[in-house]
Amino acid sequence: MTHRIEITGNRAEANSTQVNNMTLNTSHTTEEIDRTCLLALRCPDSLVVKNLLKENKDKLVHKSFDWILQDSQYLSWQDGSDVGVLWIKGGAGKGKTMMSIGLIEKLEERSRQAKETTVVIYFFCQNDDAALNTLEAIIKGLILQLVRQQPMVKQSLRERWDMATLRFTEDVSSWRGLWAIFTEMLHQSDCARLYVMVDGLDECQDRGMVDLLRLIVRTELDRPSRVKWLLTSRPLDSAEQELLTARDQVQVSLELNSDHISQAVRNYISSKVVELDRRQGYGPGLKRIVEDELHIRAQDTFLWVTLVCKQLESVKRENALGVIRDLPPGLTAFYDRIMRQICDGERSVIEGCVRLLKVMMVAYRPLDVRELRGVSGLLDEEPDMEKWIERCASFVMKRGNTINFVHQSARDYLAGQTGGAILDSYDRYEHGDILMNSLAYLRQKLKVDLLDLRRPDSSRELITQCELELLATLSYAATFWFRHLEVAGDDLVQRAFRGQGLLATFLQTRLLEWLECLGWLDETARAVEALKILVKMSTDSAHVSLADVFSLIGSSV
């Protein structure tokens, strides 16, 4: 299974072959129609994302957020009838996502014990994943969770689905169309109370955020505050004004609860030092001193503690205090220090680390380590990639085969003035470079009958582990090259299209093989997306015409 399917779990269900097979029947049950609607909607699975985040956040330390369970603002939102929106805001690394996961699990536990029906649905925005950082993704994720817990609301999708054409009769590609469906579902649900939680609104890359917040705080539902919204984010600038206009809204500022956060960080430090003590044998005396030193320097930031304790895992007990005292407090200073360490050493190692970070910055989603060769251009450097990932461990982490940023603040630092300048001084790797390397890799690897199954009726059960590995290496290049083309410079686009340009050659010689590859990846809808981008570019560019596009496609077919 490819990384793409793992991250947005429900995409594994969105197999266009499954949808098309529905046309073989002349009559359809309600369950079949409902299943087809959801397959076509392609909703990200928030449960899968939550479980991954929970794993990446180490184990939850419930003492780190228990304080908010007694906060008057939180209690008035949780139990009152006149508060519909709770906004928890705080700076980077203050534990907002860890708190969100904990609160979700507490509310789910209360729901299981409640005599009346209570439903908890949620979504986690992820800036570095294009499938999880849009308003459309937020609403789709909430819709999927709601229909799983309240099956009767599937009627809202069913009534908008045409089985003859296998299409929705209304626009479901825009967040406003999805919002209309979602609010209708909220009205239809029969639960006594429904908690809706959206974590990391600041990581949503969408200009419509202010409009969505306006709808959230102003939409009147059938019963006062039956639907409870909990939103977490960093300060939201102009969007903050919309949240503050709501009469039924309260907020909890983590910065204004510094005493609680300080104690929560202290509890978190204690749990991490217990783990370090087991690993390195600190003993009671050193254990206490390490806890105090970490607390002094942490500046009430969970992430700083996490990153430093990660470094301490490989440090002998006698060197632990020296390492801690040598590290600067605060995230920005910490990242500055780590960046200087990365750029100190053998030139080839530095360039490999910088290329890894640049690729992660430009990519539209977290990458599978097996995809790096195809998008980085470092085809002969595979043995060194693990070393680069380990060296960059304060910026990126590897879980299984998946590479993620350790936190949004790490990505922000690398995109900022200091981190960005250092990266650019070594390597100016951009969208056009990923485009060209992806196309070159696909031209090299794609072929007729990609998986050598030979028989047209071959099933997925016949795919070997080796062939799955091949699909994993091709996944990002095959499904995102056209997104990078869309934002590449006009000069590069012109060169790619013309004559023996890489894109022209790819479309002429590998189009059908690419379509086959998309089929194996359950991503055939990407072909339509690519065609739309190519057509749009032909209308926007003075150098590429619609005739050029269809001439290249036609020559391949």
Domain identity same for 396 and 487: no
- Total residues found in the chain within this entry: 557
Residues near 241 by Cβ (< 8 Å), separated by ≥ 6? none
Q: Is residue 353 part of a domain?
A: yes
Listed residue (120, 100, 61, 102) closest to 200, CA to CA: 100
Domain identity same for 138 and 191: yes
pLDDT tens per residue, range 232-252: 998 877 666 667 665 667 778
Q: Which residue has the higher pLDDT, 63 or 130?
A: 130
Domain final residue pick, 426, 444, 459: 426
Domain identity same for 217 and 101: yes
pLDDT tens per residue, range 167-212: 898 888 899 999 999 999 999 998 889 999 999 998 987 788 888 8
Domain identity same for 456 and 531: yes
Domain identity same for 237 and 276: no
Domain identity same for 132 and 195: yes
Domain identity same for 245 and 365: no
pLDDT tens per residue, range 344-391: 888 888 999 999 999 999 999 999 999 998 898 876 666 688 889 989
Mean pLDDT across 435-462: 82
Measured between alpha carbons, how far is residue 160 from residues 32, 157, 163, 454, 463 in Å? 15, 5, 10, 40, 37
Q: Is residue 478 part of a domain?
A: yes
- Predicted confidence at residue 543, as pLDDT, reads 56
Residues near 218 by Cβ (< 8 Å), separated by ≥ 6? 246
State both tokens at 481: 């090259």
> What is the sign, positive or negative, of the torsion defined by CA atoms of 195, 198, 199, 202?
negative
- Predicted confidence at residue 480, as pLDDT, reads 95
Measured between alpha carbons, how far is residue 111 from residues 83, 120, 148, 272, 335 in Å? 19, 8, 15, 31, 41
Q: Is residue 465 part of a domain?
A: yes
Q: Is residue 97 part of a domain?
A: yes
Is 299:329 a contact under the CB 8 Å cutoff? yes
- Predicted confidence at residue 176, as pLDDT, reads 93
pLDDT tens per residue, range 221-235: 444 578 999 999 988
Listed residue (224, 151, 227, 242) closest to 196, CA to CA: 227
Listed residue (69, 395, 105) closest to 264, CA to CA: 69
Domain enclosing residue 274, as ranges: 259-325
Domain identity same for 413 and 386: yes
pLDDT surpasses 70 at 152: yes
In this structure, the number of other CB atoms found within 10 A of the CB of residue 94 comes to: 23
Number of domains in the chain: 4
In angstroms, the CA 28 to CA 15 distance is: 18
Residues near 70 by Cβ (< 8 Å), separated by ≥ 6? none
Listed residue (300, 296, 305) closest to 269, CA to CA: 305
Is 195:230 a contact under the CB 8 Å cutoff? yes
Domain final residue pick, 325, 357, 375: 325
Q: Which residue has the higher pLDDT, 6 or 241?
A: 241
Q: Which residue has the higher pLDDT, 16 or 304?
A: 304
Q: Is residue 388 part of a domain?
A: yes
Domain identity same for 82 and 143: yes
Q: Is residue 11 part of a domain?
A: no
Please list the alpha-helical segments (H only) found in 8-81: 16-21, 30-41, 46-56, 72-79
For helices 46-56 and 135-149, angle between their N-to-C axes, nearest 10 degrees = 110
In angstroms, the CA 232 to CA 200 distance is: 5
pTM for the full predicted model: 0.82
- Predicted confidence at residue 258, as pLDDT, reads 86
- Amino acid identity of residue 81, one-letter, is S
- Predicted confidence at residue 247, as pLDDT, reads 63
pLDDT band at 14 (very low <50, low <70, confident <90, very high): very low
Q: Is residue 286 part of a domain?
A: yes
- Amino acid identity of residue 57, one-letter, is K
In angstroms, the CA 44 to CA 42 distance is: 7
CATH of the domain at 386: 1.10.10
- Predicted confidence at residue 22, as pLDDT, reads 42
pLDDT band at 442 (very low <50, low <70, confident <90, very high): very high
Q: Is residue 10 part of a domain?
A: no
